[in-house]
Structure 1
Amino acid sequence: MTVGAPVWITRARPGALATAERVRGLGFTAIVDPLLAVESLDVQLDLSHIAALAFTSANGVEAFARLSDERGLPVFAVGRATAKAARGEGFASVSSADGDVEDLCALIAAGAHGSVLWAGAREPAGDLVGMLRGRGLMATGVAVYETLERAPSEDTLARLDAPAAVLLHSPRAARVLAAILRQRPAPTARFLCLSEAVAAPLRDIAEPGSVTFAPRPDESALLDLLNS
């Protein structure tokens, strides 16, 4: 892409702001207009029999940290960004799967001793708890935040009338965007996705060849697509 070209960041805040800094650092114009908004849930946590925590997003880490002062349990994180968020909240023992939910399940199965608590979204993209139980592990889950859909501004949508890139971090954001594109096509836009699962909702909506997904599910690989 041309230096200075607009890049629409669709992920929820506060992660969108960190992504915007990286996009600007690469010489592009960052447009922060999330398709999703995160709201923490007020829930009671019972950690009395929990031996480890599992997180599939930085949002889950941050929401859990608001609800509990517990920082001594070992943490298993799906990827580097989630692991970084856990360390930033004060967790000392953090292991990262550097991959997707299946990779995280394998990491936990190899390293956890005792019951695992997953803390995440009310409507998660994957069933980590079910996968762990399928391997014979003791696992429970608690929703600590919910993700709400939001409409982008008309100014943002107008940017798609010229060459632009759209960054997508989750299947849900991709589904929201797909619904928008059915009503308002963007034939010159490029849709850069964190993974194949994120790209799937756009395959039959966007122009052929305009949807690309990162070779591994982390943001550095996603941002590399801007220069490909």
Structure 2
Amino acid sequence: MTRPRAASERFVAQLSPELRDRLTPMYSPLLDIRPTDGAIDLDGMRGLIFTSANGVTVAAHRTGDRSLPAYCVGQATTATAQQAGWAAEMAGESAEELIATLLHWRPDSPLMHLRGEHTRGDVAERLTQSGLRVQEQAIYDQQLLPFTAEAQAALAGNRPVIAPLFSPRTARQFADLWTGPAPLWLVAMSEAVAKPLETLTFQRLKVAKRPEADAMRVAVEKLVRQAMRVEGAQDAD
């Protein structure tokens, strides 16, 4: 699991018990989420945009203001924002869907997109160009990390390794670091996530049907079953 530890553990816990008992979860986060300096200025804003649960978590610690509506990408981000106290609505499962939804809804603006230093989709710029005023502020950085010693040992072995990848940047880091002979089974959250992985030698690369956590869970479970059949393995990493 390459996401931050807490998110990875939540994902593993959602897998079916039958499969989870046959897996050896291995945690090697490839991104470290670090809040940036500076206050969040929401003066004059009429709403918030969150495109990741990380943005919600950092914002929740940086501001006590819960008066603004929040428009979110994905079920997990929406649920995190609701749990943090915002009146949050899911506006799509991707940045593209969020942009289309907000242009259809036309909420009161300006809106503030609270995001990471590294982001895709140009949400604020594209919405503003389409007539919906949106400002943006990077409130956290995503610093790349190397594989852990445990992950390095696994990639050097001969047991099948199943790796779910959730973002293009993490996928690129994974592809840059992977050098081992272990049989590799990959699940990507979207075609954009799958693209950097195409340089690797793998047994199978499966793309989730939708860019959200539940579709990733379904894709991972299907791939685990296939890997166990093909490899004849009793368990996998």
Question: Does the alignment pair 1:201 with 2:196?
Answer: yes
Question: Does the alignment pair 1:15 with 2:7?
Answer: yes
**CA shift at 1:68, angstroms?**
0.7
- Secondary structure of 1:192's aligned partner: strand
Counterpart CA distance in 1 for 2:220 and 2:7 is 18
Amino acid of the residue matched to residue 66 of structure 1?
A: H
Q: Percent identity?
A: 28
Amino acid of the residue matched to residue 104 of structure 1?
A: L
- Secondary structure of 1:158's aligned partner: helix
- Secondary structure of 2:14's aligned partner: helix
Paired residue for 2:184? 189
Paired residue for 1:180? 177
Counterpart CA distance in 2 for 1:196 and 1:44 is 35
**CA shift at 1:134, angstroms?**
2.3
Paired residue for 2:220? 226
**CA shift at 1:210, angstroms?**
2.0
**CA shift at 1:154, angstroms?**
2.7
**Aligned partners of 2:15 and 2:221 also within 8 Å:** no
**Which of 162, 166, 183 in structure 2 is aligned with 1:165?**
162
The count of residues paired between Structure 1 and Structure 2 equals: 216
- Secondary structure of 1:43's aligned partner: coil
**Aligned partners of 1:117 and 1:139 also within 8 Å:** yes
- Secondary structure of 1:117's aligned partner: strand
Amino acid of the residue matched to residue 29 of structure 1?
A: T
Counterpart CA distance in 1 for 2:141 and 2:45 is 23
Paired residue for 2:226? none
Question: Unaligned stretches of 5+ in structure 2?
Answer: 223-237
**Aligned partners of 2:72 and 2:78 also within 8 Å:** yes
TM-score (norm 2): 0.85
**Aligned partners of 1:175 and 1:201 also within 8 Å:** yes
Counterpart CA distance in 2 for 1:14 and 1:187 is 26
Counterpart CA distance in 2 for 1:186 and 1:109 is 48
Paired residue for 1:46? 41
Measured on the aligned residues, the alpha-carbon RMSD in Å equals 1.6
**CA shift at 1:23, angstroms?**
3.7
> Bigger CA drift: 155-164 or 48-57?
155-164
Amino acid of the residue matched to residue 62 of structure 2?
A: L
Amino acid of the residue matched to residue 118 of structure 1?
A: H
Counterpart CA distance in 2 for 1:29 and 1:197 is 28
Counterpart CA distance in 1 for 2:5 and 2:91 is 23
**Aligned partners of 2:171 and 2:197 also within 8 Å:** yes
Paired residue for 1:84? 79
Amino acid of the residue matched to residue 199 of structure 1?
A: A
Question: Does the alignment pair 1:213 with 2:210?
Answer: no
Paired residue for 2:91? 97
Counterpart CA distance in 2 for 1:213 and 1:42 is 36
**CA shift at 1:186, angstroms?**
4.2
- Secondary structure of 2:140's aligned partner: strand
Counterpart CA distance in 1 for 2:181 and 2:221 is 20
Counterpart CA distance in 2 for 1:23 and 1:155 is 22
TM-score (norm 1): 0.89
- Secondary structure of 1:10's aligned partner: coil
- Secondary structure of 1:66's aligned partner: helix
